[in-house]
Amino acid sequence: MNHPNFEFELLHVDKHSGARLGRLTTPRGVIELPTFMPVGTCGTVKGLTSKMIRETGAEIILGNTYHLALRPGEEIVEAMGGLHEFMDWNRPILTDSGGFQIFSLAQLTRIDDHGATFRSHIDGSKIELTPERSVQIQEALGSDIAMVLDHVVQLPSDRATIEDACARTVRWAERCQAAASLDHQILFAIVQGGLDPQLRRSNAEQLVELDFPGYAVGGLSVGETPEQMYETLEFTCPHLPQDKPRYLMGVGTPVDLLNAIRRGIDMFDCVMPTRNGRNALAFTDDGPIRMRNEIHKRDPSPIQTGFQTPYSHYSRAYIRHLFMAREMLGPMLLSFHNLAYYADLMRQAREAIAADAFVEFFDDKMAAWSRANVEYDT
């Protein structure tokens, strides 16, 4: 299908790494790459208004097909003018396909070539999600970028299980492609293959033959170590088209993001900045800090000195007080800070790539973060 209002430009590749500077133009705005997409699962990035999300510097957000189909129902979102109008977000939206929910609800799921059948986590009602149904929901939501339905498996899994999921992912991608009917929505394929170089290459090559506008690397951050994930990206990215955007789904920490950019990834999403923000953890250039710690009780300094946002004037002492008093403003302010920090990290990465200085930038950040030893809420 022709998508005349979408264009991807690869502007530069860092001379000393695989880091890419790109630009994705959509009908609702330009996305400078690499970029991080805040997760708005149910049509809201938890605790933040759309105005606040824009103030973080985010250019695109993510919505969730499965959750929005259950509540309030895609037909209601469509009747309200689509997801953009419904949640007052006038910039691009990417919707995931529901494939990860099939994986995460596996104990309730039956999967065959037709699709997945499982029980609603809300009321136990029976739900059938097929490739065609996933596309239908995403078209009703009106997102700018939709994702194919894929088959995600837990890692580690035996080779036969991963091979079966890879083959089904390609078949489902073909069906999603055939079902897509909008010229103002593009569809990204998702590469599976576990941690196996041969399976990743084969799956990527089969999906590239189908000529999607963009490609995601899926099936990671589901049980493997960070080092295994980075290695998988190293042998997967070379088999993805240079002239299409590359999206790593569901990842991750600032360390993960820079490692993935170094290996050629352009787009990210993850609940980590907001989930950790709600649990009193702030990301900074000196590593994550726990805002409930006693050390912040009388600290008048901001979360990160020199990092300017509309809300950066609040002191560590005040933010700690909000969490200790269980005031909702605390999670809101830290969620905002973390998303703004991620957006600024992407901005700095783009500048470093443009200057062929990404490796130096990477090393400086890793050295600073390595001094911190913090457990994240994943």
Q: Is there a contact between 194 and 155 (Cβ–Cβ < 8 Å)? A: yes
Kindly give the pairing relationship between strand 281-282 and strand 289-290.
antiparallel
What beta strand segments (E) does 93-180 contain?
93-96, 109-112, 115-119, 126-129, 145-147
Q: Is there a contact between 299 and 310 (Cβ–Cβ < 8 Å)? A: no
**Element at 158 (helix H, strand E):** none
Predicted local distance difference test score (pLDDT) of residue 91: 98
Q: What are phi and psi of 138, to 5 degrees?
A: -65, -35
Residue in the block written with tokens 């003018």: 81
Q: Is there a contact between 108 and 118 (Cβ–Cβ < 8 Å)? A: yes
Torsion, Cα 326 321 343 285, to 10 degrees, reads -130
Structure-token pair, residue 257: 């993001």
Among all residues, which ones are annotated catalytic?
Answer: 96, 269
pTM of the model: 0.96
**Element at 239 (helix H, strand E):** none
Determine the Cα–Cα distance for residues 267 and 49; give it in Å rounded to an integer: 23
Predicted local distance difference test score (pLDDT) of residue 104: 76
Kindly give the pairing relationship between strand 61-64 and strand 246-248.
unpaired
Determine the Cα–Cα distance for residues 232 and 249; give it in Å rounded to an integer: 13
User: How do the domains of the chain map onto residue ranges?
Assistant: 7-276, 280-370
Kindly give the pairing relationship between strand 281-282 and strand 267-269.
unpaired
**Sequence-distant (≥ 6) Cβ neighbours of residue 168 within 8 angstroms:** 111, 113, 151
Task: Tell me which residues of the chain have a pLDDT lower than 70.
Answer: 105-108, 373-376, 378
Residue in the block written with tokens 């609940």: 271
Predicted local distance difference test score (pLDDT) of residue 147: 98
Determine the Cα–Cα distance for residues 291 and 320; give it in Å rounded to an integer: 5
- Backbone angle region of 214, left / alpha / beta, with phi > 0 → left and psi within -120 to 50 → alpha: beta
Predicted local distance difference test score (pLDDT) of residue 281: 97
Q: Is there a contact between 301 and 315 (Cβ–Cβ < 8 Å)? A: yes
Q: Is there a contact between 144 and 174 (Cβ–Cβ < 8 Å)? A: no
Q: What are phi and psi of 28, to 5 degrees?
A: -105, 15
User: Residue 19, SS3?
Assistant: coil
CATH fold of 7-276 reads: TIM Barrel (3.20.20)
